[in-house]
Amino acid sequence: MRLPSVEGALKAKARLSTVVLETPWQPIERWSKKLDATVFLKREDLQQVRSFKIRGAYNKIKTLSQSECEQGIVCASAGNHAQGFAFSCRDLRIKGTVFMPLPTPKQKVEQVRMFGGDFVDIQLVGDTYDDSQKAARVFQQQTQALFIHPFDDPDVIEGQATLALEILDQAQQDLDYLFVPVGGGGLVSGILTIFKALSPNTKIIGVEPVGAPSMYQSLQKQHVVALSQIDKFVDGAAVQKVGDLCFEISKKHLDDCILVEEGRICKEILDLYNKEGIVAEPAGAIALAALEQFDQPLKGKQVGVLICGGNNDITRTPEIKERALLHAQLKHYFIIRFPQRAGALKDFVNDILGPNDDITFFEYSKKTSRVNAPAVVGIRLQSASDFEPLMHRMKAGGFFGDYLNNQPDLYQFLV
C-alpha cells in the first residue's frame, strides 16, 4: 500500500473543490481565556454532511474506474463515513451498500438514507464498527463490490488531508499545537501527512476516549492492538482496531496521544451547545475536552482544535447530561436502608440531605418481614465538596447501605 502524500492531497483538493465546503476556522473565546492562549476551532460540523468524512469518501470513490463503479461499492461505518459514502453514491450515481452497527444513533441512519436516496442500501449488523466491517467484507466477497475503507486507505487519507491544507491557508500564524480526534486513524494520518511536511514545528496531539483507546494502546505496545471490548458511546471514535497504514504514520509522526473520559466529553458537548451554540457529537467534542488535561503548558500558544462532526442525536441528551454530572461528581447513586417505620423518609430528607441536595431517582419496595428495607436513591449535589459530608450523615444516621457509582455491573442499570 502506497503512502499518502502532499501531492496526493493537492490532487484530492482539486477533486473535492465543487463538493466540499471550506469550513470556518474560528476563535473560541471561552477556551482562549481559560488557557491564556489563542484557541481556534476547525468547524467540520458545518460540512454539508456535518463531518469531515465526505472528504475521504468522495475522493476515494472519485478515483474509481468505470468498471469498478459498475461492480458496485460497499462500506462499513458507525455513521459519518456512511454519510459521506452515501452522498458520493448519489452525486456520482453509483450503487452502494452501507453496513452500520445496530446501536448507531437513529439520526445518523436517517441521514445516510437521506443523502444516499435510491442509490444506497443500508444494512444494520452487529454491535460495533468492527462487526459491521466483517459483514461488509463477506458481502464484498459474495458480490465482488469494491470495499471503500473508512480510514485505512491512502486515497481516503489524502481526502481527509485536504482539511489540513485548509487550516494552513486559514491560520494567520503558525500553530504550536493541533488537537485531533482519533478513531480508526484516517483523519490524524491525513493531518500528519500535511503538517509534518509543511508545518513541522506544529505538534499534533491525537485524542481518544478512555473507553476505546485503540491507537493509544497500539502506540504503547508498538504494534496494532485489537481491543476485545470498547465503550461505544463515542460512536465516531469507537474502533477496536486502528488501520495498519494509519498506525505506521502515527507511530512515526504523532507527537502524543491522550485519553479523555466519556463524562468529560459530555460536559464539553453541553458547554459547546449552551455557550457557543455549537452542536457537536461525542467524537466532535473530544479534542476540545482534552485541552484542560493536556500536560504541557499552553499559555501564550497558538492552538487548533478539530470539531470533526456534529451528527448528534437529540434523543441522547439525557444520557449526555447524566454522564456529565457523574464526571463532575455531582450525581451519586446509593442503596439506602430505610427503617420500616412511619416518618423514616421524612427523617432522611430533613436530617441527612443537605440544603442544596436533590433526590433525582428513588426506587423502594416495602419488605414487611424486615426491620430495614433497601431503596436505590439518586442524589444530585450542588458542589462536589458536598459528597463527603453527605456520606458522613448517612452512615451516622444508619441509612447507608452501599455506594453504586463505582460498581459498574450494578450502575449500568441506572445510567
Does the pLDDT of residue 415 top 70, yes or no? no
Grid coordinates given for 367:
419488605
pLDDT of residue 238: 85
- Do strands 177-181 and 146-147 pair parallel, antiparallel, or not at all (unpaired)? unpaired
Is the model's pLDDT at 414 over the cut of 70?
no
Question: Is residue 367's pLDDT more than 80?
Answer: no
Pick the CATH number of 6-52+157-323 from 2.60.40.10, 3.40.109.10, 3.40.50.1100, 3.90.226.10: 3.40.50.1100
Tell me the fold of 56-147.
Rossmann fold (3.40.50)
Contact by Cβ (8 Å): 23, 310 = no
The helix/strand count (H/E) of the chain reads as 17, 14
Whole-number pLDDT of residue 413 = 63
pLDDT for res 104 = 83
φ, ψ for residue 62, nearest 5 deg: -65, -25
Residue range 389-397: mean pLDDT, rounded: 94
Q: How many residues does the chain have?
A: 415
Neighbours of 387 (CB within 10 A): 18
pLDDT of residue 368: 60
pLDDT number for residue 20: 96
Burial 138-175 (b: 16+ CB within 10 A, else e): ebbeeeebbbbbbbbbbbbbbbbbbbbbbbeeebeeeb
* Angstrom distance (rounded) from CA 411 to CA 146: 43
DSSP-derived letter for residue 3 is P
Question: 403: which 3 cell numbers?
Answer: 455506594
Q: Which grid cell sits at 374?
A: 433497601
Can you read off the three cell numbers belonging to residue 44? 467540520
Interatomic CA distance for residues 95 and 152, integer angstroms: 22
Higher pLDDT, 233 or 52: 52
What confidence category does residue 51 fall into, taking pLDDT thresholds of 50, 70 and 90? very high
Average pLDDT of the segment spanning 58-79: 93
5 — pLDDT class (breaks 50, 70, 90): very high
160 is written with which cell numbers?
481527509
- Determine the 3-state secondary structure of 280 from DSSP: coil
Query: What are φ and ψ of residue 100, in 5° steps?
Result: -130, 150
pLDDT band at 166 (very low <50, low <70, confident <90, very high): very high
Closest CA relative to residue 148, chosen from 193, 89, 92, 90: 89
Q: Residue 41's pLDDT band (boundaries 50, 70, 90)? A: very high
On the 0-12 / 13-18 / 19+ scale of CB atoms within 10 A, 107 is middle
Residue 39 to residue 402: CA distance in whole angstroms: 43
Q: What is the mean pLDDT of residues 75-91?
A: 92
Give the DSSP letter string of 132-169.
HHHHHHHHHHHH-PEE--SSSSHHHHHHHHHHHHHHHH
Task: Give me the CATH topology for the region 329-411.
Answer: Alpha-Beta Plaits (3.30.70)
d(CA 152, CA 64): 16
Residue spans per domain, the chain: 6-52+157-323, 56-147, 329-411
CB 128 within 8 A of CB 119: no
Strand order in the sheet with 146-147: 120-124, 96-100, 73-76, 146-147
Indicate whether 369 pLDDT > 60: no
- Alpha-carbon torsion (178, 38, 200, 22), positive or negative: positive
Average of pLDDT values for 126-147? Answer: 91
With a cut of 80, say whether residue 101 has pLDDT above it: yes
> What is the dihedral sign for C-alpha 30, 36, 38, 44?
negative
CA distances from 13 to 48, 150, 200 (A): 16, 18, 21
Q: Cell for 22?
A: 471550506
pLDDT confidence of residue 93: 95
Fold matches, 6-52+157-323 and 329-411: no
Give the Cα separation of 77 and 98 in Å (integer).
7
pLDDT at 130 over 70: yes
Max avg pLDDT among 21-35, 73-87, 370-384, 398-412: 21-35
Q: Does residue 259 contact residue 237 with C-beta atoms inside 8 Å?
A: no
Average pLDDT over residues 128-144: 91
Q: Tens digits of per-residue pLDDT, 224-280? A: 999 999 988 898 888 899 999 999 999 999 999 999 999 999 999 999 999 999 999
Q: What is the pLDDT of residue 174?
A: 96
- Please tell me the predicted confidence (pLDDT) of residue 140: 94
Residue 410 has pLDDT above 80, yes or no: no
